[in-house]
């Protein structure tokens, strides 16, 4: 036997383990994970409060005292609760509109502009039909606001559907168009000649204002919002249309192969999404400000995006989230009495959105065992 054959006949010893220990797991992205667990939402909110608490403490304030002041201001009295619900109405309507679009992965961030044009359209009724009775004025304002917001939503849906234009760009740009249109009418042709140069229309009369509850500012728009949420819940869960929306959102390719008209659904959901935001504008102008004026929205359309994300598009979650963010806005006003600006609520909103997005990204990662 040759030396080569003898060496080959000798069984090989197993390699000695390296002194450097190999990792047993690896971190990778799982594309099948499209949502984050429910507890991630709670963690995101807590982390946002913690982060904002650090900034509050850095300014020499006690974060616990500040948060306590905000909670008491928003929920500690009947007045605070009523004001919180007033702020929750446009947030719920806009958030509901955003959620319907998100159901099929259409990213409508144009609720702010749709809110503006809805308020403009509702005010047009008071300008051009000033003497109508309340039973004609309010329904007409509702129809005008729904139509204006819906058309504004279609201005995003049509380029997306037929020309593959990214809806993020068009819906965002249309926000500024809606804002400039509002500025034009309140500084120009609709400006109140008796308003001491204030950029706003004449005050609405009683027939042009939504009825309110008692001595509060809580108005009938709350019924609009609750009815819209109930209809949304029933349609999504129990109808063929709702099933098709869920299928498109979960697997567009499977929906297309099943013969579901995706283009038609995109147009329809953006029409509904814009109409709901337009109705929010009507509710605000007729139920709260009683005139169209500069700065009528403190960013309801943008905050509605966070409301929808926090609720994970669930109807009950939308209502709860809208109330919480309404309380956050009202609580921001209450902390002004202790020396903090009301913009602290905007800081908390931004922090919540940041951690929600980060949590959604982290939930896509998973550990896998090597080998």
- Domains detected in the chain: 32-58+97-362 (1.10.3470)
Q: How does strand 25-29 pair with strand 365-369?
A: antiparallel
For the cut 90, the answer to whether the pLDDT of residue 127 exceeds it is yes
Please, which residues have CB within 8 angstroms of residue 137's CB and are 6 or more apart in sequence? 125, 126, 129, 207, 208
Q: What is the mean pLDDT of residues 189-193?
A: 95
In angstroms, the CA 228 to CA 91 distance is 13
In angstroms, the CA 307 to CA 304 distance is 5
In the numeric block, which tokens belong to residue 117? 């044009």
In the numeric block, which tokens belong to residue 123? 């005010």
pLDDT of residue 19: 44
Instruction: Tell me what the pLDDT averaged over the chain comes to.
Output: 89
For the cut 50, the answer to whether the pLDDT of residue 316 exceeds it is yes
Q: Which residue has the higher pLDDT, 52 or 6?
A: 52
Beta bridge partners of 212: 219
Q: Give phi and psi for 200, each to the nearest 5.
A: -165, 165
For the cut 50, the answer to whether the pLDDT of residue 16 exceeds it is yes
In the numeric block, which tokens belong to residue 272? 């509904």
Split at pLDDT 50, 70, 90, the class of 360 is: confident
Q: What is the mean pLDDT of residues 80-105?
A: 96
Place of tokens 């002041």: 69
Beta bridge partners of 46: none
Cα distances from 344 to residues 50, 144, 151, 333, in angstroms, run 13, 35, 34, 9
**Nearest alpha carbon to residue 285 among 126, 173, 83:** 126
Q: CB–CB of 117/181 below 8 Å?
A: yes
User: What Rg, from alpha-carbon coordinates, does the chain have?
Assistant: 27
**Nearest alpha carbon to residue 348 among 330, 322, 325:** 325
- Record the pTM: 0.88
In the numeric block, which tokens belong to residue 308? 């929808």
Split at pLDDT 50, 70, 90, the class of 70 is: very high
């Amino acid at each position: 036997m040759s030396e080569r054959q003898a060496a080959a006949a000798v069984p090989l010893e197993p390699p000695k383990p390296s002194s450097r220990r190999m990792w047993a797991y690896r971190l990778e992205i799982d594309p099948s994970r499209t949502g984050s667990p429910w507890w991630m939402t709670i963690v995101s909110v807590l982390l946002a409060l913690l982060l904002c608490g650090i900034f509050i403490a850095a300014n020499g304030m006690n974060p616990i005292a500040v948060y306590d002041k905000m909670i008491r201001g928003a929920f500690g009295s009947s007045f605070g609760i009523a004001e919180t619900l007033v702020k929750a109405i446009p947030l719920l309507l806009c958030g509901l509109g955003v959620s319907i679009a998100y159901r099929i992965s259409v990213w409508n961030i144009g609720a702010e502009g749709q809110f503006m044009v809805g308020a403009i359209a509702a005010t047009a009724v008071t300008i051009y039909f000033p003497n109508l009775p309340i039973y004609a004025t309010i329904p007409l304002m509702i129809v005008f606001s729904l139509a204006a917001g819906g058309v504004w939503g279609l201005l995003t849906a049509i380029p997306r559907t037929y020309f593959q234009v990214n809806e993020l760009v068009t819906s965002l740009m249309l926000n500024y168009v809606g804002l400039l249109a509002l500025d034009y009418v309140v500084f120009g042709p609709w400006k109140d000649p008796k308003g001491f140069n204030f950029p706003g229309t004449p005050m609405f009369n009683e027939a042009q204002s939504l009825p309110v509850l008692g001595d509060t500012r809580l108005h009938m728009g709350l019924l609009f919002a609750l009815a819209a949420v109930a209809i949304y819940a029933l349609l999504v869960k129990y109808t063929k249309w709702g099933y098709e929306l869920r299928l498109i959102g979960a697997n567009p390719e499977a929906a297309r192969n099943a013969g579901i008209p995706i283009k038609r659904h995109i147009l329809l959901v953006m029409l509904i999404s814009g109409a709901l935001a337009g109705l929010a504008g009507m509710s605000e102008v007729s139920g709260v400000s009683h005139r169209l004026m500069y700065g009528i929205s403190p960013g309801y359309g943008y905050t509605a995006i966070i409301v929808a994300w926090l609720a994970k598009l669930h109807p009950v979650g939308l209502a709860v989230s809208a109330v919480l963010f309404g309380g956050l806005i009202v609580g921001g006003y209450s902390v002004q009495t202790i020396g903090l600006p009301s913009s602290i609520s905007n800081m908390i909103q931004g922090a919540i959105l940041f951690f929600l997005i980060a949590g959604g990204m982290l939930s896509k990662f998973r550990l896998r065992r090597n080998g």
